[in-house]
Chains A and B, each alone.
Chain A
Amino acid sequence: MKTKQRIYILSAALLILVLLYLLLGLNPFIWRYALSLRIPKTIALLLVASSIAFSSTVFQTLTNNRILTPSVLGLDSLYLFIQSLIVFLFGSSTLARLGENFNFILSVGLMVAFSLLLFQLLFKREERNIFFLLLVGLVMGTFFQSLSTFMQVLIDPNEFLVIQNRMFASFNNMNTEILWLALIISFLAVLFTLKDLKNLDILSLGRENAINLGVDYDFVVKKFLVLISILVSVSTALVGPITFLGLLVVNLARELLRTFRHKYLIVGAILIASIALTFGQLIAERLLNFSTPISIIINFIGGLYFIFLLLKESKI
């Protein structure tokens, strides 16, 4: 079982990296303080890595396409739009008074509601073309983005600066206040689809084969799309949009594990994403002194890999 062995190796590598990240540079005087900062950060990193890897794997299976990521649904733009709208309508003080957790729940709720509305609208039509859904999502994304920028132009510049940090979280400026809530929500979301996970292998055969083999296609797809919206909201709220990490890790997992079984693919993608983020954070914090945000590095590498993938594949 080559696949399993490779998963063990990946897990071991991740364990070492996490330990390195936690323990490197500790000394007897500051260890308590340093750990109290590093542990939540590590958990957040792993949570972000898992939700991105998980949602991207599922998304690629649903779309039967190796070169798409959930970011084309326009959900991250919607998140920014919701944040801007709150500030625009009620001011940043309201945002502060509401508290991060409430804001997070509100945003996730709105995003899920929006996706459901979008799916409902499109799945009602006869030709349930998932690519059509994506294109609509994408345009909506541009729309929300323009609208958010528009409101940001109108907001008092001082107020804008105050909220900018919250709106554009990054790995160096992680929104760890909502960590526990995000953890619980993602856990519940995954629990909610747990018994559908076995259908993923079948879904990768395409719609007709899936229906033939007794999968309630429309229902299962909608359920997974809701899961994807929740996971995307979680990672966007924690660290902001990282477009290409998902693309990168799912394809690496496929290359490395050479299997179609989601049991392994999902675990593999989660491990690779966690390794990439922990390693990236380690380098960014300890070597580069925070000089380049790792989301930019990841998007850069992910982007190059994507172009490589397009050129290499004989058919897409």
Chain B
Amino acid sequence: MIEVKSVVKQYGRKRVLDNVSLKIEKGKITSFIGPNGAGKSTLLSIISRLIGKDGGQVYLDGELVDGIDCNSFARKLSILRQSNHLNVRLTVRELVSFGRFPYSEGKLRAEDLDHIERALEYTQLKEEADKYLDELSGGQRQRAFIAMVIAQDTEYILLDEPLNNLDVKHSVEIMKILRRLVGELGKTVVIVMHDINFASCYSDYIVAFNKGQIVKEGNVEEIINKDVLEDVYDTNFVVQDIMNRRICFYY
């Protein structure tokens, strides 16, 4: 379980996160939703130690994250940010191999190779494995980065807007992969999402942010309803059940 206790983050005088506390349960997909600048990505970065915090604590399975050494941390939790521009030219397989670095320190053993192959299979990239990343489509490239995270084989996987710039087909593909990661491999996935309907269809738990604070958290039924969403986004919403799913209209 990830436990966030009264975390504060500020840039200059502006508080981006104001006393945020949250528990993220194991074996579920948890989505962070909310308007731009609500602090979702910032919290994700703080949990994964990409940026520092100005107050509060984060616990990973009961242990303070600040005390965990970098390598052990990388075996427990992985993060994928939205901007994945690389300056080096790599093939898909090379990129995925990097996911084994926390275990192999650069020298791949048979066990690592197994993990790499499985990650490629999982993301259906076997055929593209020896292509260079710059030869792939946006969706394939995003899957390659997810494959790297899968090869990293961490219990917790954090993703910052993984659907950014992807079309409908690729977005669905990626969400299905994440669903399988939770269902089949028992991973814990935390996603920052912009598309509320994707969050509604694929999450087990949703946390709604606004102005650096958590407005409300709960399962899909509790969050995806007119009152909560209108409060969070300050826009008119219509929420309906379609084929057993909650779908929002906000146009």
A-side interface residues toward B, CB under 8 Å? 64-66, 126, 198, 201-202, 204-209, 211-216, 260
The chain A residue with its CB closest to the CB of B49 is: A211
CB pair B99–A206 under 8 Å, yes or no, is no
CB pair A214–B101 under 8 Å, yes or no, is yes
Q: Which residues of A contact B37 (CB under 8 A)?
A: none
A85 to chain B, nearest CB (A): 38
CB pair A212–B74 under 8 Å, yes or no, is yes
CB pair A198–B73 under 8 Å, yes or no, is no
A198's contact among B51, B52, B69, B106, by CB below 8 Å, is which?
Answer: B106
The distance in angstroms between the C-alpha atoms of A252 and B71, with both chains bound, is 34
Q: Which residues of B contact A260 (CB under 8 A)?
A: 88-90, 94
Answer whether residue B244 sits at the interface, using C-beta atoms and an 8 A cutoff: no
The distance in angstroms between the C-alpha atoms of A252 and B62, with both chains bound, is 50
CB pair A66–B50 under 8 Å, yes or no, is no
Q: Which residues of B contact A215 (CB under 8 A)?
A: 70
The chain A residue with its CB closest to the CB of B145 is: A209
A203 to chain B, nearest CB (A): 10
CB-CB nearest 6 A-B residue pairs = A214-B74, A214-B102, A260-B88, A214-B71, A216-B70, A198-B106
CB pair A201–B80 under 8 Å, yes or no, is no
B180 to chain A, nearest CB (A): 21
Answer whether residue B79 sits at the interface, using C-beta atoms and an 8 A cutoff: yes
The distance in angstroms between the C-alpha atoms of A202 and B104, with both chains bound, is 12
Q: How large is the interface on B (under 10, 10 to 19, 20 to 34, 35 or more residues)?
A: 20 to 34
Whether A66 touches B74, Cβ cut-off 8 Å, given contacts A202-B101, A214-B102, is no
B-side interface residues toward A, CB under 8 Å? 11, 48-52, 69-75, 78-81, 84-90, 94, 98-99, 101-102, 105-106, 149, 152
Q: Which residues of B contact A208 (CB under 8 A)?
A: 50, 79, 81
B91 to chain A, nearest CB (A): 10
B11's contact among A126, A201, A204, by CB below 8 Å, is which?
Answer: A126
B54 to chain A, nearest CB (A): 9
Q: Which residues of A contact B71 (CB under 8 A)?
A: 214
Q: Which residues of A contact B87 (CB under 8 A)?
A: 64-66, 204, 206
Q: Which residues of A contact B88 (CB under 8 A)?
A: 204-205, 260
The chain B residue with its CB closest to the CB of A208 is: B81
21 contacts across the A-B interface (CB closer than 8 A): A64-B87, A65-B87, A126-B52, A198-B106, A202-B98, A204-B88, A206-B85, A209-B84, A209-B98, A211-B50, A211-B70, A212-B74, A212-B79, A212-B152, A213-B102, A214-B72, A214-B73, A214-B101, A215-B70, A260-B88, A260-B90
Interface of A is mostly: loop
Q: Which residues of A contact B94 (CB under 8 A)?
A: 260
Q: Which residues of A contact B149 (CB under 8 A)?
A: 212
The chain A residue with its CB closest to the CB of B101 is: A213
Greatest chain A CB density within 10 A among B11, B70, B84, B102 is at B70
The distance in angstroms between the C-alpha atoms of A66 and B85, with both chains bound, is 15
CB pair B99–A213 under 8 Å, yes or no, is yes
Known: A66-B87, A214-B102, A216-B70. 11 other contacts (CB 8 A): A201-B98, A204-B88, A205-B86, A205-B88, A206-B86, A208-B50, A208-B81, A209-B84, A211-B48, A212-B79, A260-B94
The chain A residue with its CB closest to the CB of B160 is: A208
The chain B residue with its CB closest to the CB of A60 is: B87
A205's contact among B73, B98, B102, B105, by CB below 8 Å, is which?
Answer: B98
The chain B residue with its CB closest to the CB of A211 is: B50
The distance in angstroms between the C-alpha atoms of A202 and B141, with both chains bound, is 18
The distance in angstroms between the C-alpha atoms of A126 and B16, with both chains bound, is 14
The distance in angstroms between the C-alpha atoms of A216 and B152, with both chains bound, is 17
B246 to chain A, nearest CB (A): 33
The chain A residue with its CB closest to the CB of B84 is: A209
Q: Which residues of B contact A207 (CB under 8 A)?
A: 50
Q: Which residues of B contact A212 (CB under 8 A)?
A: 48, 50, 74, 78-80, 149, 152
The distance in angstroms between the C-alpha atoms of A205 and B52, with both chains bound, is 21
Greatest chain B CB density within 10 A among A198, A201, A206, A212 is at A212
The distance in angstroms between the C-alpha atoms of A200 and B77, with both chains bound, is 21
A60 to chain B, nearest CB (A): 9
The distance in angstroms between the C-alpha atoms of A180 and B84, with both chains bound, is 45
CB pair A198–B74 under 8 Å, yes or no, is no
The distance in angstroms between the C-alpha atoms of A260 and B97, with both chains bound, is 13
The distance in angstroms between the C-alpha atoms of A148 and B72, with both chains bound, is 49
CB pair B90–A213 under 8 Å, yes or no, is no
CB pair B50–A214 under 8 Å, yes or no, is no
A201's contact among B69, B72, B79, B106, by CB below 8 Å, is which?
Answer: B106
